[in-house]
Structure 1
Amino acid sequence: MFISPETSTVGFIGLGVMGKSMAEHILQAGYRLHVYTRTQEKAHELLAKGAIWQPSPQQIAENCDVIITMVGYPHDVEQIYLSENGLVYHAKQGTYLIDMTTSSPQLASRINEESKKAKLHSLDAPVSGGDIGAKNASLSIMVGGEQAAYESILPLLQIVGKTIVYQGKSGAGQHTKVCNQIAIASTMIGVSEALAYAKAANLQPETVLQSIATGAAGSWSLSNLGSRMIQNDFEAGFYIKHFIKDMGIALQSANEMNLQTPGLALAEQIYKQLAELGYNEQGTQAIYLYYTEHQ
């Protein structure tokens, strides 16, 4: 069975920088949408457009056929899914549980095991693309879980994402997101060092960006966050505090596999220093300030 607006009610938990845009796309696609977030004020715009407020994850579970979570940290995910009042223990049999948070692969596997016992379908489907990707419905979505469940919810994922790839069994989506974050960690060092160098050499950073963004150095981070660095725009599309969390998950997973990741370790060190300097709530592009203001 494919998920469709005619057959399914969707619950969405977590209406932050990315979750709010994702939920709005689903609402605009014609789905009945129930929402919950810890700060109800964040839901006001969606409620005005027809979404239905539920006061807790348990009420979401009792009223929805498909539930998407997009929260902050693994401990939030564990609380929402596996606590006494969690989704796994209150969802109707056959419900699809889709965690799009960047979380622990090991936790994704635990949720899947408990979901099977309750006759639920669990998928880990973290995303990449930041606030821009969420607003433009162009996210990259990497999915782990049973393939039949993935195929059933694919039409829903296509509403919020552009590149959607089934990666394998439960936990594979989260492991793929770890790969993504490892790649970004070192890339952000390179982008900020290049633009800091351009500034120190008295070049025009904007024209430097024009040249290097379309050459061999080109990357999503350079094209989308490099311009924000130059404009001193450090508003969060993706919070430093959340990136530190992601890097911690990646380092732990790599360590469990006896894999050395020195580039990732250096990036985590720099971002932790920025957090100590008070930039925790800024976007990841604020790493530029480490080179231009704090050396």
Structure 2
Amino acid sequence: MATYTVAFIGLGAMGGQMVRHLMAAGHRLHLYARRPEAAAPFVEQGAKVFATPAQAAAQADFVVTNVTTTQDVEEVLLGAQGVVHQARAGTICIDHSTISAEATRRMAARLARHDIQFVDAPVSGGPTRAADATLSIMVGASGDVFDKVKPLLSVLGTTITHVGDVGAGQVAKACNQIVQVINIQGIAEAMLFAARNGVDQDKVIEAISDGLAGSRMLDMMGPKMAHRDFVAGIEARLHDKDFSMILDAVADAGLSLPALTLVKGQLSVLMENGWGRDDTSSLLRVLEGQQQVH
């Protein structure tokens, strides 16, 4: 595979793993991170670190972003020190963040005025699958741009789906979050029901996991709830952030999604209880706190 200069912005739990894989594949990494210490291990291995996103992008073939919010992406791409000011014409920006589909389309249009192409490529799988390069990646891009970025994405994930034009990847990721977190709420309710009926939660998981109730989330979250392991795999605050954003998009579309609304309420209580940096399996603790004592 050809090798490229890749500017990478955002070296958190996911981004750091992605940088590691890109470097192992032979790509030249130009890094920008709010916390310089996050870049230090990669600099020791030959990556270069820059003071601004614009400087990191100046000589890059691709710019990859993996930050938290829509506003973060807008700032690093289009802000005062953003990528747009120094990236070369023909550069392709790939965004792995989970952000607004509508904002994604607006950013793509602004970048296009500078002959910079934009690809939304949110991921699913969390830090564990980022670490072993088995992420699922949902891509919004034109067909020819998708062909250009697929080899790079293949370094990071094993399931790479071209969903549609720019913004479609973020719509797919919102669907992913809806299914995933509503499922976690259902698992929490099942685990509470089993416990209150005096039945071994592990045995319930064993009994239902190979039936129609089986899911990856049950396999992951069921044991965590049963053994009260609330250490974060994915921090609950991120799911809360995503559900807030999705609810806004749902309202804009004139839709009513009752399960989404209910689970957002549960996530809000979770956040109020100070569990935002714990695992989303903490939805079980929210439920427990809402029960009347008999």
Give TM class, smaller chain: over 0.9
Instruction: Give per-residue Cα distances to partners, 1:202-238, cap 9 Å, x unaligned.
Output: 3222232222222211112111222222333222232
User: Match of 2:148?
Assistant: 152
Matching of residue 201 in structure 1 with residue 197 in structure 2: yes
Q: Distance in 1 between matches of 2:265 and 2:22?
A: 38
Q: Distance in 2 between matches of 1:249 and 1:32?
A: 34
Once residues 42 and 235 of structure 1 are traced to their aligned partners in structure 2, the CA distance between those partners, rounded to angstroms, is: 22
Is the CA contact (8 Å cut-off) linking 2:140 and 2:170 kept in structure 1? Answer: yes
Equivalent in the alignment of 1:120: 116
CA drift at 1:294: 5.4
Pick which of 264-273 and 14-23 moved more: 14-23
Single out whichever of 72-81 and 224-233 deviates more from structure 2.
224-233
Residue 174 of structure 2 corresponds to 178
Write out aligned runs for 1:25-64 (5 A): 25-64=21-60
Mapping of residues 90-101 of structure 1, within 5 Å: 90-101=86-97
Which deviations, in whole Å up to 9, do the C-alpha atoms of 1:137-163 show, x marking residues without a partner?
A: 111111112211111010111111111
Indicate the SS of the match to 2:183.
helix
Length, aligned pairs only = 291
Deviates more, 1:266-275 or 1:124-133: 124-133
Please list, as runs of the form range in 1=range in 2, the aligned pairs for 1:58-73 lying within 5 A after superposition.
58-73=54-69
Provide the residue aligned with 1:143 in structure 2: 139
2:9, 2:67 within 8 Å by CA — same for their partners in 1?
Answer: yes
Partners of 2:282 and 2:126 in 1: CA distance? 15
**Shift in Å, 1:181:** 1.2
Match of 1:229 among 212, 218, 225: 225
Counterpart CA distance in 2 for 1:19 and 1:189 is 28
Q: CA deviation at 1:63?
A: 2.9
Contact 2:52–2:82 (CA under 8 A) maintained in structure 1: no
Q: TM-score, normalised by structure 1?
A: 0.93
Q: TM-score, normalised by structure 2?
A: 0.93
CA contact (8 A) 2:30 2:57 kept: no
Q: Which runs of 4+ in 1 moved over 4 A?
A: none
- Pick closer, same or farther for the CA change 1:227–1:87 going to 2, 3 Å: same
Contact map agreement 2:7 2:56 (CA 8 A) in 1: yes
Amino acid at match of 2:9: I
> In 1, are the aligned partners of 2:120 and 2:139 still within 8 Å (CA)?
yes
Deviates more, 1:232-241 or 1:275-284: 232-241
| CA positional deviation for 1:82 | 1.4
RMSD: 1.6
Give, in angstroms, the shift of residue 58 of structure 1: 1.4
Provide structure 2 residue ranges, at least 5 long, that are not aligned to the other structure.
Answer: none
| Residue 274 (structure 1) shift | 0.7
Counterpart amino acid of residue 45 in structure 1: P
Partners of 1:279 and 1:272 in 2: how far apart? 10
2:248 pairs, out of 252, 270, 289, with 252
Select the residue among 253, 272, 276 that pairs with 2:272: 276
Residue 254 of structure 1 aligns with an amino acid whose one-letter code is: V
Letter in 2 for 1:198: A
| Contact kept? 1:89, 1:118, Cα under 8 Å | no
Larger displacement relative to structure 2 (34-43 or 186-195): 34-43
- The structure with higher relative contact order (CA 8 Å, sep 6+) is 1
Structure 1 gap segments, 5+ residues each:
none
